[in-house]
Amino acid sequence: MDFLTRVAAAAITLFARFITAVRGDWRGIEPVPRQRVYFANHVSHGDFILLWTVLPPRMRRQTRPVAGADYWLKSPIRRFIGRDVFNAVLIDRNRESRTDDPIAQMAEALDGGASLIVFPEGTRNETDAALLPFKSGIYNLARARPSVDLVPVWIDNLNRVMPKGEFVPVPLICTVTFGAPLHVGADETREAFLARAREALFSLSPHAQGNGR
């Protein structure tokens, strides 16, 4: 990482902390430099920035978000932030045009020693539901690299900090809650694993706590 990207990363981190006063709640796991796949709810383009921000510096340098190439390559500024500052694993979400297998791209990043941030809903949740159904990608990745910890992470309040269609953030306290790691069972079906992973993520949310769960 050169001087400009280090400065940009520091500035983004400070800005995110200033606007959100974000705090990490390591409820089910310790913040130690172990390779992981963090899977989180997705309500904003800033989700991975907030999760990345609360990681300790050593873990931050190791962790790469998985993001849509169509969004992060759309302009020079986005390209610089997504590719250079965050070293994102950029996925072509268009099945017809892509030439690389997304699971192979993520597995290659893990094989290189990186941790990953993924959003198993597949797209931003703009509905009233707490979570959208999970796509199969996280199951396929878990099968491809079964020894890597899959850590559920609930990001709370970011959709209120940056409402859809707004360009000026609203200062609010955000929380990033980390749960206990998961691994896919040897004989676990895709449907069973996705349901279990989704429940593990939802259980960290204020919605679940409000229901006494």
pLDDT at 157: 67
Predicted TM-score of the model (pTM):
0.89
**Residue 121 near residue 133, CB atoms below 8 Å:** yes
Number of compact structural domains in the chain: 1
Q: Which residues in the chain come in under a pLDDT of 50?
A: 161-163, 165-168, 170-171, 212-213
Check which CATH number belongs to the domain holding 60 and give it: 3.40.1130.10
Q: Print the domain residue range for 24.
A: 3-210
- Phi first, then psi, for residue 105 (nearest 5°) are -60, -45
- Contact between 114 and 60 under an 8 Å Cβ cutoff? The reply is no
Per-residue pLDDT at 124: 84
Determine the Cα–Cα distance for residues 162 and 77; give it in Å rounded to an integer: 19
* pLDDT score for 71: 86
Residue by residue, DSSP assigns 14-54 as HHHHHHH--EEEESSS---S--EEEEE--SSTTHHHHHHHH
pLDDT at 161: 45
The pLDDT mean for the chain works out to 88
Identify the H or E element spanning 89: strand 89-91
- Site of tokens 């259980």: 203
Q: Can you give the pLDDT at residue 98?
A: 84
The pLDDT of residue 197: 98
pLDDT tens string 25-47: 999 899 999 999 999 999 887 78
